[in-house]
Structure 1
Amino acid sequence: MVGKKHLTSLSRCLGFILLLIISLSLNGCSSQKEEVFSIGISQIIENPVLDLAREGFIDALKEKGYEDGKNIKIDTQFAQGDIALTTTIAQNFVSQKKDLIFAISTPSAQSAFQSTKEIPILFTAVTDPVSAGLVKNLDSPEGNITGTTDLVPVDKQLELGKKIFPNVKKVGIPYNTSEVNSQVQVELAKEAAEKQGLEIVDIPVTNSSEIEPALRAKAQEIDLLFLPSDNLIASSMSIITKVALDNKVGTIGVDEPMVKNGALACEGLDYYKLGYETGLMAVDIMNGKEIKDISVFRPKDTQLTINQNIANKLGINIPKEILEEAIIVEGEK
């Protein structure tokens, strides 16, 4: 017969084991609850255009039931225009084992893609993903990266400029030589300009301090400015607008934020919608869809936008047929 002392000891031992099992089970449940899908957002610089794309991305996630701090975790990092810093951001995301990287801009996407071939990467505000070395096939991405492109029809921008300024001959294009997307647009502009009887005047810059002197040096040579989708240019609208108005030169941008911030007009894209589309891609990935099955999204619709205040300052009358189709921005930016 087993003594009472032995039974008591056995009961205590079994009780301890039971408590240990329960404790481990609870810890396991707790760990599972803490494991949420982690997204790293890398944005080259804070400006109205890229901020809209980021907002659209986050809103798409939220509308589909994924909210930061609840069932997903979003870590947003800005490179403040420093391309080298985009590499550091991407490498940190890789070491932190993010589940997804959302790269806003060509440099951010290139750095992310160079840093990992395993973590899914989505991009937006990338003008030419093929020239940037991100994908070879827009319809069937073969690696770990896809997203949305912001290539606008450059020929339509130049046509708009000619409609507003019928006597235009020379078009100046300020652009950042470090951004592949900008170089692509300059080449497209030259091709379109040749067909339209226009001459392109290159205004290359490498940083914001070069923009004003470069523009002033060319201001007397040009009849119009075309502002490409370029992060440095988009972040320097106040300088560009000042020089343009000082010299009575019209500016054609590529998106509504540019027009709101001082460009005269654009036939542009909605960056909020671009970000939103990319957010829907993220939802698909979280639900198990593979990158190779997600084609690069290419927007087709553009929106004509006019800054009436800038038109008044230039002393020009926008043709009625253009005004009837346009969103009119009245306020000074």
Structure 2
Amino acid sequence: MQPPSRRTFLALGLITLTSACTTGGTDVDPNGDVMPGNKGPGPDPDNPVRLRAIAATDTLLSAYDTLLATPGAQTALLQPLRAETAQHRAALAYGVPAASVPPAPGTPTATPSSTPTPAALAALEHQTAQSHLADLGAARPPLARLLASVAAASALHATTLGAPPDQPDPAAAPTPAATPGAALPALQKALSAEHAAIYGYGVVGAHLPEDQQRADARTYYAAHQAQRDAWQRLLTTLGATPTPAAGGYQLPFPVTDAPTATKLAAHLETRLTTVYADLVADLPTPHRRAAAIALRDCTLRAHHWGAPTTPFPGIPDPLPTPTVTRPN
């Protein structure tokens, strides 16, 4: 088993050039295990959480259908987002007895009397994301990971529909609640990932012109520094020695100009979504929200840099559904 820091660097596409202190840990299931079946007698304890998430998603699907049925609807924008939301519902409903799940909403046959707006739909996406985050503590780890991923996708939908990006959430800051020792390797892995991302953003900023892109890179560089500091403080509070940064990292591809710099930024943020999706499952409930917010923020930054979108940020598609392509 590889030490977490090196596994994190490999996940980020950055290989350590100078050795850093590492901490052993438990490997994450490479298959994701996002959809566990009911392996024992009796009902799945996750079913109440799943049913709440399905209900929230059905409300969202109905809103998409209503807006799509209005004259002049932005079909090219709305249909891919609606298709991704349908994939979320299918993943959330997987394994739940069919009799417990209401039929999925369909396209309405009549035009509603009041015309909804993309702004109202964006607000509903945000509300749905918040409802998923609120249930993180009630879900078992694999479902918590899925909820965090779907919440990140909903946040991205909201910004695509014109809502401003979510602001930092002080309530999501990691707190020094009692943490089982098994969670420490996962926290060290997240810290190592932030060390690698900070190094990568140093390279990104050096190859961008003095324009809005470089300003954005500075902002995101500072955000990763703040996230690094938060994990360091938490680890110190828990009596662990934070993993230090390595002396250098090998980039996944040469960075020689602005296009390759933005490509690297997109690569770093996309790889971090995987780290944070795994972290949601690895951490106990007091810290899941902090990891889920980090997943959301990396998802939005990856999209900003032009990374391809996915219905499930940070995890492979949990069901064999077709890939949805939508404009960035």
Q: TM-score range by the shorter chain?
A: under 0.3
1 or 2, which has the higher strand percentage? 1
Task: State the TM-score, normalized to the length of structure 2.
Answer: 0.27
Q: Which has the higher contact order (CA 8 A, sep 6+)?
A: 2
Task: State the TM-score, normalized to the length of structure 1.
Answer: 0.26
1 or 2, which has the higher helix percentage? 2
